[in-house]
Amino acid sequence: MSDFNNVNDPFELLGIELSDKSVRSALKREKSQISKSTGFICFSEDWQNPVQWGHYAENHKGICLGFDVSDEHLKKIKYVKKRLNTSNFYANDKREKLLTTKFSHWNYEKEHRIIVDLSSRTPDDRGLFFEPFSQHMKLREVIIGCESSVTQSAVRDLCENKDEKIKIFNARAAFRDFKIVWDRSKKSTRA
């Protein structure tokens, strides 16, 4: 899962207008506190966006994991053209707004998040946190990027012990549109 100290958006947790020096100082402290105690897992509604593959899957060399996630665990991102008014800093739902507000140019991501309290978690030896698959987050498919050297059989070997079948397929660039699609010339498999 991601933590707010290592993201590609410098405005993360800073969706409120900061011209007031006291608000700016208080929000900086709050961002630091949230960053130490909170992680998040990002999901997109659209695996077919080539920009997403370029940004988040090593220029199409990676994979995309498709999940069924319980709605009650997801927070939908709200995309805005301008930072929220300073009055939002004093609102009861301030934390929720900080965690779910992004600049409108990120809207291609169609992002939803699971917000995770890290205080009871232990990072691995590299300092990374992981969320296990569960009834609330079920792995359903693995999509192999169109420039990936990963094979379906390698993915299948990793997924074989799962209780439920997982669809595995390769992606390719569409012939008519600017999107990534299922490469039907390579049969999909199930693990």
Check if the beta carbon of residue 137 is closer than 8 Å to that of residue 54: no
Distance CA 67, CA 7 (A): 22
Across-strand partners of 134?
137
Cα–chain-centroid distance for residue 40? 8
Domain containing 152 equals 2-190
**pTM to 2 decimal places:** 0.90
Predicted local confidence at residue 162, as pLDDT: 66
Ranges of residues in the chain whose predicted pLDDT is under 70: 161-163
**Which two tokens mark 129?**
């946190």
Strand 189-190 with 167-173, pairing: antiparallel
> Tens digits of per-residue pLDDT, 119-174?
889 999 998 999 988 889 999 999 999 999 999 999 999 887 666 789 999 999 99
Predicted local confidence at residue 30, as pLDDT: 94
**Number of domains present in the structure of the chain:** 1
Predicted local confidence at residue 60, as pLDDT: 97
Distance CA 41, CA 111 (A): 10
Predicted local confidence at residue 163, as pLDDT: 67
Residue 42 neighbours by CB under 8 Å, 6+ apart: 2, 109, 111, 112, 113
Following DSSP, what letter does each residue of 135-169 receive, concatenated?
Answer: TTEEEEEEEE-TT----HHHHHHHHTTSSS--EEE
What is the number of alpha carbons within 13 Å of residue 185 lying toward its C-beta?
A: 5
Check if the beta carbon of residue 70 is closer than 8 Å to that of residue 44: no
Distance CA 4, CA 99 (A): 10
**Which two tokens mark 169?**
């397929």
Distance CA 41, CA 12 (A): 14
Predicted local confidence at residue 104, as pLDDT: 97
Predicted local confidence at residue 5, as pLDDT: 85
> DSSP letter at 83?
P
Q: Residue 67 burial by CB count (10 A; 0-12/13-18/19+): exposed, middle or buried?
A: middle
